[in-house]
Chain A
Amino acid sequence: MELELKNLKKTYGTVQALKGVSYTFTAGIYGILGANGAGKSTMINLITDNVSRDGTDGGEILFDGEDILKLGKDFRALVGYMPQQQGFYEDFSPKAFLKYMAEIKGLKGKNNEGKSVNEQIDELIEVVNLTHVAYKKIGGFSGGMKQRVLLAQALLGNPKILILDEPTAGLDPKERIGIRNYIAELSKDKIILFATHVVSDIECIADHVLLIKKGEIVVTGTPVELIEQMHGKVAEITCTLDDVGKLQEQYKVGNIRQRRNGLALRLVGDKLPEEAVKVEDNIDLEDVYLYYFE
């Protein structure tokens, strides 16, 4: 199973949102990191065919060697998509909504596990912890509950390609961990694209990470590889509150922690102050993000 992006381009008016992106996705979880306007949503919209390509110059998206536009609904039947923007019919209950989406997705009869559509829906409602409100109007839900309904509809039909845009937004830490773990379990035979700003979500479960900046993939690799690349580029320095502003102007500053003897600033970059102490062990993806995006 392979989803290949070949020289993917997209222009909105005079703005080039994607500049010839090429990448191949296979089974596993892919964390997609990027600032707002980097091109993440454009890439996702092109994969889900919610946005048209730039004619013949727009590149190709191939699934197992075939263009997804030619595959049409056969490809879309394999996709589960959870957009960033919460979209609902507010007077539907989760049960009614998932039933509706099941029909739109063309789910019929029983799946490979011998479960009927209703059983799949009931199972998903339980997974996202909404059994107690299965027949209540979605309009009355909190943001986190709405997010869980959205996730459930994306998981409906056991899609081969799961595209999740900010799936953990609005969830409490416990829910976040639960969803992350559930997604990790699914990834064995799926391509999961996980776009987020919450770096810690990707760090735990992503097999690969893509960093997108200004329409291009700036770096890609496993979390371990990306972190290893940061050796010698992360340091900590202790200073007073008055020095923070000056340091922020000169270097990329990550976390600021309070210590007994002042403030400990985490600095990221190729050039670091001599008095800063290099960090060897505790480098994480957040440092990687800072390095490439700040």
Chain B
Amino acid sequence: MGEAKRIFSKKMCILIGIAVVVNLGLFLYGELGGRSISDMMFAKKQYQELVERYQGMEADKAAEQVGTEFSAVRRYAKLLTAKETKEQENLSSMPGGSSQTQISAEELMEQSDEATREMIKYHQSLTEEQQVQLELQMKELRSKLTYLAGYKKSVDNVFTNAENMKKFSIFSKKDSYSYSNIIRTAKDFERVRDVEVTLDNDKAADAFVHYNLMYYIAAGLMVVIIYGLFDERENGMWQIVHNTPKGRTELAVKRLLLLVCGSFAILLLLYASTFLMSLGLYGGFSDLANPVQTLQDYGKFTYALSKGGYILRLFFLSWFVLCGLSVILWALFVVFRNRNHTLICTAVFVGIEILVYQKIEIQSIYNAFHYINVVSFLRISDLYSIYMNWGFGTYVFSVMSVVVFSLGMVSVLAAVIATVRYAGMRPETRVTWLARAFAVVHKQYQKLFAKYPVVLKEVHKLIITGKGLWAVVCVLIIAVYFSTSGQMTFTDAQKERDKMYLEHGGEDYSYIVDYVEEQKENYRKAVENMEAAAEKYERGEIDLSEYSSVVSSVYYQRAALSMIQEYQEKISYAERIKEEYGVDIWLVSDRGYEEIFGQYSSQRELILLIALVTVVMLIISECIAMEYRTGMNMIVHSAGRGRGFFMCQKIIACVLVTIGLTVAVYGIDYWNLYKIYGMPYLSAPAVSLTFLEGTSMKLVLNTTIGGWIAICFAARAAVALVTMAAAVFVSKIIGKKGNRSIMPIVLVGLIAAVCILHKVTAVI
């Protein structure tokens, strides 16, 4: 009990609370996928309504109906858009132009059934953004219905294939693995032969089972707990504890139980809160009783479980994995005397595991390293949902069972070895080879470190002595995660247009202007030809097929015209900017830049800035407080240059760390975004990006795109430096008064200020 109280102190409980909140935030962020909350809730509502609409139908019929309605709403919207373009208005004055368009849209409505007409009308009643959301939900539902329609057949195919394959000689040897695998597969799928899958509201369960971050967060918390179990090795208590009657085997067993119970409690908190949030967002509680196979990625899951049953079973499986990994890590900490060395070695090992997981394909002959892997263990839901067997001879095992068995065996062995070793390991004993290796490296570093000037030693104190390195690592992970997740996907048409901008856009976009004119001319000629053909057809000079071919070319040219609408809008925009502000813009694609610093970047930018501000506060608030904490304040204060000079060096070090962190965070951010979206035409006037119009026009008109990025970076660096100044002030108070509660108060204030600035300015 005392050990539990020591580990689960107030500080730890606060950390767990923060982890739960962060986890829920990350889950929500993932579900938003770059949308606003209102868009997401609208999309959810649409999906629910669509499910209710098609629930009573057969899956294949429903899939067909959804497909029809989806095509119809998009086509109708395109036709209306084409009708509203300037070119169409111009062409409407040409013979046969407008009348052709109006008939097409009306014809579409007439040709459609009642349900489709209803859907088209509903689609047209929505705003543009809502229309996009509706279309996305329809697309998703169609894919889902296609899967549901084909599920039964896919299961039956397993049995059919099994029978057929047994007939082929290469599979029919009864003592071969291939044969045994066929039999085993058929036997496993027998469990789900009678499972009936229907359309239901399964978004909550779907989002939840695909969310893996909570396992990483739980694992991170367990690392902190395990690290805390070994405080005694550094605070001088080891000798005392080891000398007590209950300080050996009994303590080791207690700690083992603590890991088991602690992992349960932590995972339960994260798991339950995330699941409840998912249910809160998407509803569908009553549909949890339906088979888990209704989820699209669970077509190969061979247990007849409901969604609720699966989620419950997944919890206990995840707990088993978390517990097993924690015990193994604890055993490593026991065996290697120095906990920091163990942590470093573990981090290196996990890094290698991540690399192996990413590089080894699941089809590879080495896929054992992919599945028996820490990353794979922490993505337990993905592992549990796939159907894959290994084996040799007549022995066939599922991958999951191998993973569970191997993890179980290793963790039991680790627990036994660690308990025995813990009891027998004396505090004062010879140095291990690992400690010696680290000592050699450290000695060389200290030789170099002794030569550092004071300012670099101050930087070292902030990062290493003040344990700021943890915060640095966290913020870099956050930067990598948020700059690489939630990527926009572009359609093929958009990619083509971007290619055009790259090849023929920029400062001299005469090619694109000529191209647009050419397309307009082609359309005009096609319409002229069609009118001439209409007259000839009436006179009987040409037959229907010839006439139809001419009409088709008009449709083709019309489609080509709609493709260049974006260019036309850009050219009009360029003319307007020239007229209003006298600035010659370049023709540049907005798309990638909208993600980098436009409307789609808002959440990412805010999160990165809050993370940066938090880390700066956490690290810099130690700068003066550390001197009091270590007892150095009296010595330094009484030294010749221990005041003004010392403070100067400290401030310079704080500035270096702050700027370094800002460069690192935004360097990672921009680098990843550059790799994903590219950053073409950085020397183009910033106002070339249409979404920047109206934003601090004085700045935008007088700078380039690259300059704008630099201004945004400078603004954020300024925010970081202001935070640094506040943190120095906080540090002074913490040092002199010993009151740490001021730090979170100031931090919350700064974060609130950042949120406000983010809302009202364009550069932060």
Which residues of A are interface residues toward B (Cβ below 8 A)? 45, 48-50, 73-74, 76-77, 79, 81-83, 85-93, 95-96, 99-101, 103-106, 135-137, 139, 150, 153, 157
- For A85, list chain B residues within 8 Å (CB): 631, 634
Which residues of B are interface residues toward A (Cβ below 8 A)? 234, 439, 442-443, 446-447, 449-454, 457, 460-461, 464-465, 630-646
The listed residue (A90, A99, A157) touching B465 by CB distance below 8 A is A90
Given the interface pairs A91-B465, A135-B446, the reply to whether A106 lies near B630 with Cβ below 8 Å is no
- For B450, list chain A residues within 8 Å (CB): 93, 95-96, 99, 135
Given the interface pairs A81-B634, A90-B465, A99-B450, the reply to whether A104 lies near B639 with Cβ below 8 Å is yes
A82 to B638, CA, bound (A): 10
Q: Is the CB of A100 within 8 A of B640?
A: no
Given the interface pairs A88-B631, A91-B465, the reply to whether A73 lies near B447 with Cβ below 8 Å is no
10 A-B contacts (beta carbon < 8 Å): A49-B638, A73-B643, A76-B640, A89-B465, A96-B449, A103-B454, A104-B640, A135-B446, A135-B450, A150-B635
- For B637, list chain A residues within 8 Å (CB): 48-50
- For B643, list chain A residues within 8 Å (CB): 73
| B464 (CB) vs chain A CBs: closest residue | A91
- For A48, list chain B residues within 8 Å (CB): 634, 637-638
Q: Is the CB of B646 within 8 A of A135?
A: no
Chain A nearest Cβ from B631, distance in angstroms = 3
- For B464, list chain A residues within 8 Å (CB): 91
Given the interface pairs A89-B465, A104-B646, the reply to whether A79 lies near B638 with Cβ below 8 Å is yes
Given the interface pairs A87-B630, A96-B450, A100-B454, the reply to whether A81 lies near B635 with Cβ below 8 Å is yes
Q: Is the CB of B638 within 8 A of A89?
A: no
A85 to B630, CA, bound (A): 9
- For A137, list chain B residues within 8 Å (CB): 442, 446
Chain B nearest Cβ from A209, distance in angstroms = 24
Q: Is the CB of B640 within 8 A of A45?
A: no
- For B446, list chain A residues within 8 Å (CB): 92-93, 95-96, 135-137
- For A90, list chain B residues within 8 Å (CB): 465, 630
A101 to B641, CA, bound (A): 10
Q: Is the CB of B639 within 8 A of A101?
A: yes
Q: Is the CB of B640 within 8 A of A106?
A: yes
Chain B nearest Cβ from A262, distance in angstroms = 37
Q: Is the CB of B642 within 8 A of A104?
A: yes
- For B632, list chain A residues within 8 Å (CB): 87-89
- For A104, list chain B residues within 8 Å (CB): 454, 636, 639-642, 645-646
The residue in B447, B464, B630, B638 that gathers the most chain A C-beta atoms within 10 A of its C-beta is B638
Q: Is the CB of B447 within 8 A of A50?
A: no
- For B447, list chain A residues within 8 Å (CB): 95, 135
Q: Is the CB of A89 within 8 A of B630?
A: yes
- For B443, list chain A residues within 8 Å (CB): 135-136
Chain A nearest Cβ from B436, distance in angstroms = 12
- For A81, list chain B residues within 8 Å (CB): 634-635, 638-639
- For A150, list chain B residues within 8 Å (CB): 635
Chain B nearest Cβ from A193, distance in angstroms = 13
| B466 (CB) vs chain A CBs: closest residue | A89
Q: Is the CB of B631 within 8 A of A73?
A: no
- For B453, list chain A residues within 8 Å (CB): 103
Given the interface pairs A83-B631, A93-B446, A96-B446, the reply to whether A136 lies near B639 with Cβ below 8 Å is no
The residue in A95, A96, A104, A136 that gathers the most chain B C-beta atoms within 10 A of its C-beta is A104
Chain A nearest Cβ from B430, distance in angstroms = 15
The listed residue (A77, A99, A101) touching B451 by CB distance below 8 A is A99
A201 to B753, CA, bound (A): 59
| B451 (CB) vs chain A CBs: closest residue | A99
| A81 (CB) vs chain B CBs: closest residue | B638
- For A105, list chain B residues within 8 Å (CB): 639-642
- For A77, list chain B residues within 8 Å (CB): 640
The listed residue (B457, B633, B644) touching A96 by CB distance below 8 A is B457
Q: Is the CB of B454 within 8 A of A76?
A: no
- For A136, list chain B residues within 8 Å (CB): 439, 442-443, 446
- For B645, list chain A residues within 8 Å (CB): 104, 106
Chain B nearest Cβ from A102, distance in angstroms = 10
A89 to B458, CA, bound (A): 11
Chain A nearest Cβ from B65, distance in angstroms = 69
- For B439, list chain A residues within 8 Å (CB): 136
- For B451, list chain A residues within 8 Å (CB): 99
| A99 (CB) vs chain B CBs: closest residue | B450
- For B646, list chain A residues within 8 Å (CB): 104
Q: Is the CB of B639 within 8 A of A76?
A: yes
- For A79, list chain B residues within 8 Å (CB): 638-639
A76 to B465, CA, bound (A): 27
A14 to B641, CA, bound (A): 33
- For A101, list chain B residues within 8 Å (CB): 635, 639
Q: Is the CB of B631 within 8 A of A50?
A: no
A76 to B645, CA, bound (A): 13
Chain A nearest Cβ from B657, distance in angstroms = 16
- For A139, list chain B residues within 8 Å (CB): 234
Chain A nearest Cβ from B451, distance in angstroms = 7
Q: Is the CB of A45 within 8 A of B634?
A: yes
